[in-house]
Chain A
Amino acid sequence: MKIKIFYFARLKEKLNYSTEDLELPSDLYSEVLTVLKLKAHLAKRGDVWGQMLLGKLKIRAAINHELVDDNAVIADGDEVAFFPPVTGG
């Protein structure tokens, strides 16, 4: 499965990543790939990834430009975004 991931705001700065194209191993998604599973997978990259994605600051997600929760399912070709709670207006 190939997906595109965007990171925003404080998360982008801490991870030092704005976007990436990610190829996921098939053993990860032989069941269903949820947002939470993707966070856990990315957290394995090390310190700041785990601290940010599974830490105290609640990281929100969007799939194909729609806000979703941690149980949402990700499909091949999806655009996923991770970001802190929004502060517009």
Chain B
Amino acid sequence: MTVRVQTADFDVGFEINQLRQARKDTGAVVSFVGQVRDINDGDAVSQLTLEHYPGMTEKALASIIMQAKTRWDFFDALIIHRVGTLQPMEQIVLVAVTGAHRGEAFKACEFIMDYLKTEAPFWKKEVTPAGEHWLDAKDSDDLARERWSE
């Protein structure tokens, strides 16, 4: 399992290849990339700043992967999450999961993202023509996470 919190951008192709080639019995690689949109709630966004809790962030992301591991059968997972100031169309996060088959890998990847959105200590601040403001957590994210309750 790999967790990275960094300001630098990442190369999705490179990261997926690293994961994909690590085991010969890998049959499936599932990935998700989140990026900065230039519109949020109808307001034009000119930049996004991501704050985080150094020390807890990495632990929280690792814990989310461990939770996924107890529920689905997959080989490896990677989370890269950027922090700092980003422009529209910049990548924010990569989640990638490898496994023998796609079913478990797809579910684990979606689970990891739904938990990351509700548990990982990051906070976004948007800059729009109206000024800057912190984003509010969305009910839809809480609902997405609740889907996974056993």
Contacts and interface: CB of A to CB of B under 8 A. Distances in A.
Nearest to A64: B56
A87 B113 contact: no
Contacts of B51: 8-9
Contacts, number: 71
Interface stretch (A30-38, A44-52, A69-77, A78-86): A78-86
Interface range for A: 10 to 19
Interface residues of B, number: 27
B120 interface: yes
B5 to A, nearest CB: 10
Contacts of A87: 117, 122-124, 134-137
A16 to B, nearest CB: 15
B116 A89 contact: yes
B123 A9 contact: yes
Contacts of B136: 84-85, 87
A86 B55 contact: no
B96 interface: no
A8 B52 CA distance: 8
A67 B60 contact: yes
Interface string B24-36: 0000000000100
Contacts of B50: 88
Nearest to B142: A85
Given A87-B117, A87-B134, A88-B52, 9 more contacts: A9-B51, A62-B56, A67-B60, A83-B121, A85-B137, A86-B118, A86-B137, A87-B122, A88-B122
Interface of B: 34, 50-53, 55-56, 59-60, 81, 92-93, 113, 116-125, 134-137
29 contacts: A8-B51, A8-B121, A9-B125, A10-B134, A62-B56, A62-B121, A65-B53, A65-B56, A67-B60, A67-B119, A81-B56, A84-B136, A85-B118, A86-B118, A86-B119, A86-B123, A86-B137, A87-B117, A87-B123, A87-B124, A87-B134, A88-B52, A88-B93, A88-B116, A88-B121, A89-B81, A89-B92, A89-B113, A89-B117
